[in-house]
Chain A
Amino acid sequence: MSGSQASGASLAPRGMAFRGVFLRELRGYLVTPVAWLFSVVFLLAAGAFTFYLGAFFERGQADLDPFFRFHPWLYLVLVPALAMRLWAEERRSGTLELLLTLPIRTWQAVLAKFFAAWLYIGCALALTFPMWLTVDYLGHPDNGVILASYVGSLLMAGAFLAISECLSVLTRSQVVAFILALAVCFLFLLAGDRLVQEPLLALGSNRVADALSDLSLLTHFQAIARGVLDFADVAYFVLTIAFWLAANVVILDARRGG
């Protein structure tokens, strides 16, 4: 009896540790005010921007372009705010020691936190469905474009999230984590914009400017939001997410050694 139990515990399904952390994180979102604030601000701001800044009605076009156009800017502030606690809080409260001495691999913990937060953001994004219903009621939008835009929006949020989670591991202070993440996300968002490009071109480094332009989150998001779910654009987001999550694992493991 005890023998079978022993093997049962040691052969515990691989996913259990991942699921444990994933569910704990999700549970955390339901009880922490910052998460509720995230969804409320996201939904209100997304609506307000669409109707006031985006001139949703005045344009007289049945599409959601004025809605999705502001997502990168909302995410720029809100995703770092949601993600700043991911590791900084664990470090401050000492629970990082608890987590990293449980039988779980570092990458499992990193992924569990990432997917829990991504799912939460996805839910907030899904709650914007009345926009779609409205535009569908008022006219005949290209639903393919709208679906592609939702996918692009989610991918973009994922990229911001991966960046923010990774930077959160560098500090015990949530405020520092927030500002770091905001700055880096801003740089990646605008890598293709004049703001970043012109100083580089002025320095005569066309190649660097071009390379950086390819890394721009905004460029790829806009490509997808036009309704073309190009493999390259999707791959760009997936690779960006993978890169920052991998960096997160490396930094966490390096901290054990340091």
Chain B
Amino acid sequence: MRAFSCVLEEGDALLEFAGFGGSGLQAMIQTENLGKRYGRFAAVAALDLRVARGDVLALLGPNGAGKTTSMRMIAGFLRPSTGHARVCGHDVVREPLAARRALGYLPEGAPSYGELSVAEFLAFAARVRGLTDISGARRVDDMVERLQLQPVLAQGIDTLSKGFRRRVCLAQALLHDPPALILDEPTDGLDPNQQREVHALIRGMAHDRAIIVSTHSLDEVRAICNRVAILADGQLRVEGTPAELESRSRYHRAVSFRAPASALARELLARLPEVETVEVDPVSSWVTVFPRAGQDIFHAVVALLEAQRVRVEELRLEHGRLDDVFRQITRAAEPLPAVAA
């Protein structure tokens, strides 16, 4: 019961996509060389993104990195200075209405008309979207239920808590069942329970949609995203799956353990040929053993700890830490080499 569906199955649309290039996946949201300049300042430069059906792309980056500007250009609020953005094949500048019909957009700060009640606001959004028939009313009811807005339907939006206001604006973005979604910080200001609900909502609709989410929460990336793009200073620094990014962390395949008396063992571990270095966290007293590039040290570490009869309380193999990669990438002046797949 899709109130709107992106018409991609027709031949001409496929041809159009073949022209852009290559991976065979239908990119529902695509940017090419997208850039925005303010005078001499480049807020976003040469951004190339392809988000296909089923993808949830996390847009990460420090404040001021250009995440919101990029999303605003794709949503059609700002006109790009360079390049193109397409939503479901519709250029956002040349076919603005078709592109906007295919897109659900949650702007930064989740704005809504405070003097209206929740029901009035959703009725407004439905009307502007052309959802005035029975199926439109059903969509409104559906969104109210899924975002648990029933208790505040008749309340003025101005009187609502931050969490409710964000969900009201989220409902507006999902109302027309869009095939492409852009959500600027969808869980900002929500409590942990509400965050989980929104995560479940996004995961539940991800399979037939292309979604871009900006966030500062790396837990959120792990919870809902299958791809990550990190921006810094208006440029795309790195893009890949969360696992690929984690593998770029120095913690990738490191071994961490906690043991009461391990000074000698630490010395011996540091002398292993495949070990780069051994570090102790002064607060948690966890010991982390970092491998040399490409080395697998787990078994060697375990064997050594057993041989030394170290009483290990906890032990784990690290996958890599996203926050570590984030810091490393956004502080680096130069773009890093591409991720090996």
Contact = CB atoms under 8 A, between A and B. Distances in A.
A257 interface: yes
A258 to B, nearest CB: 8
B113 A9 contact: no
A16 interface: yes
B75 A101 contact: yes
B80 to A, nearest CB: 9
B1 interface: yes
B77 interface: yes
Interface string A4-24: 011011101100110111011
Contacts of B38: 258
A258 B133 CA distance: 38
B115 A32 contact: yes
B107 A102 contact: no
Nearest to B105: A101
Contact of A101 (B77, B114, B115): B77
A94 B124 contact: no
Given A6-B2, A9-B4, A98 B130 contact: no
Given A6-B7, A27-B116, A100-B76, A95 B129 contact: no
B14 interface: no
A2 B1 contact: yes
Interface residues of A, number: 34
A8 B132 CA distance: 11
A94 B127 contact: no
Contacts of A105: 96-97
Interface in B110-136: 111-116, 120, 124-125, 127-133, 135
Contact of A20 (B1, B100, B128): B128
Nearest to A30: B115
Contacts of A100: 76-77
Given A13-B130, A102-B128, A105-B97, 9 more contacts: A8-B133, A9-B130, A16-B127, A31-B115, A95-B111, A98-B172, A104-B128, A256-B77, A256-B78
B84 interface: no
Contacts of A32: 115
A9 B128 contact: no
Contacts of B107: 94, 97-98, 101
Interface in A18-74: 19-21, 23-24, 27-28, 31-32
Given A101-B76, A103-B129, A9 B1 contact: no
Interface string B234-276: 0000000000000000000000000000000000000000000
Contacts of A6: 2-5, 7
A16 B125 contact: no
Contact of A10 (B77, B101, B105): B101
A31 B5 CA distance: 36
